[in-house]
Amino acid sequence: MKGATVRCQRNGDKTTDMSRTLYLHIGAHKTGTTAVQMACHESLSALRRSGWDFAFRPGSPLNWGFVFRFDQHADCPFSIRPQGLKDMRAALDSKYENVILSAEDLFFLDEPEIRPFAGIVYDLFDNIVIVAYLRRQDELAASHKAQGAKTIQSAWVFGFEADPLPALNSQVIGYLDFDSKLAAWASAFPNAQLRVHEYRRDRLVNGDIVADFAEILNIDLCHTQDDVNAALGANQIKLIYNLRQRGVGQRFVKRIHRDGVLTADHHKFLPTHNQAREFYAAFKNSNQALEERLQGFEFHDDFSRYPDVLVNTGFGEYERENLYRILSSISKTNPEDLARRLIELEGRVRKRSLFAMLKPEILGADLADELISIASDLDPRAHDVERAKRKAKARHSGFLSRIKTKVQHIKARWS
């Protein structure tokens, strides 16, 4: 079954020829939402001539991502800023009979944060249709992990580890428990109609998300079928996650992508066949409840896209080459000066805390060694580089003895 419809009747509801309907597209992420938003925007003039509107704020991203905020310490990490609620209401309060609002970050919201959004919507519309596209949990999680090398939101929820699938923590489970997620939306919008389709090309109209979305709304949308949000390669993703773990911020990550610094990589960032099956099995009960809620909705069971074993992508060599490219892209100096700057940076990394001395494998020693190595490549005969190599070798040789001595002192103190 391609999709399902759940209807909730409003008792005593009276409709008129001028009743307004909101078509609320809530995602999920990684289901072609960008293509839908671009198609609606490109078709805006034709839509308005037909009594339709597409809600957006001029000069801002079409997906309304700018109105959301994230607080990892809050009970509900994602919420909509108060000003964002006002901006959304202003865009929805138009003269048109039918309005489309598409914002995939709505799928991040938990029920307590959905209700304030529902509060700005109900008095503006007589009818509400909630449209959602779902992907099997293993596929959606893997796609989010890849997306986390581009956007920070996915990394916040699905983690900063350079693994193809996330750990099953409370945030990940909360996002991927689709039955509970849709139940929260049904509770906040008890009178809404819910339209849910599986995002899979062989289950979409003409194999295309925009054509499928247009059929649900019974409208015409102009669009191209180009992939507007193509994924990165496995090595690119791993490198960005390693940079994120080192404290590199989103602004610098965006600059790396914008300037095309990283070399091309065509390896796919995927878990193994068995890892994907095991991950998907964790949502068995939720998916059974989802099938009951949607009267026949069922995910496909094809796992053939996954490899039997993890593929060696040659990441070590790729990382080394592209760290050099990143450093070169931000440096306006010649290689000799850059080598000296790297050695200076290595010294600061080594000395930044007591824990860096005691546990260099955690706080900086491996990064410092890599800086020395890159500096050596840039200027192998530089005196500073040779001196840094000798100091690093001495530190490594004395590291275990320092740890043993410290352990002995601790034992003696507590014996």
* Residue scoring higher pLDDT (55 or 376): 55
Most confident of 235-244, 272-281, 374-383: 272-281
Contact between residue 34 and residue 228 where contact means Cβ atoms under 8 Å apart = yes
User: Which pLDDT does position 13 carry in this prediction?
Assistant: 43
Residue 355 has pLDDT above 60, yes or no: no
Residue 240 has pLDDT above 60, yes or no: yes
User: Which pLDDT does position 363 carry in this prediction?
Assistant: 40
Count other Cβ atoms within 10 Å, centred on residue 343: 23
In which band, very low, low, confident or very high, does the pLDDT at 373 lie, cut at 50, 70 and 90?
Answer: low
In which band, very low, low, confident or very high, does the pLDDT at 58 lie, cut at 50, 70 and 90?
Answer: very high
Q: Could you give the C-alpha distances from 182 to 58, 103, 214, 294, in angstroms and in order?
A: 30, 15, 22, 10
CA distance 270 to 142: 7
In which band, very low, low, confident or very high, does the pLDDT at 269 lie, cut at 50, 70 and 90?
Answer: very high
Residue 11 has pLDDT above 60, yes or no: no
pLDDT tens sequence across 209-223: 999 999 999 999 987
* Residue scoring higher pLDDT (172 or 76): 172
Percent of the chain with pLDDT over 70: 73
Residue 356 has pLDDT above 50, yes or no: no
In which band, very low, low, confident or very high, does the pLDDT at 306 lie, cut at 50, 70 and 90?
Answer: very high
CA distance 167 to 276: 12
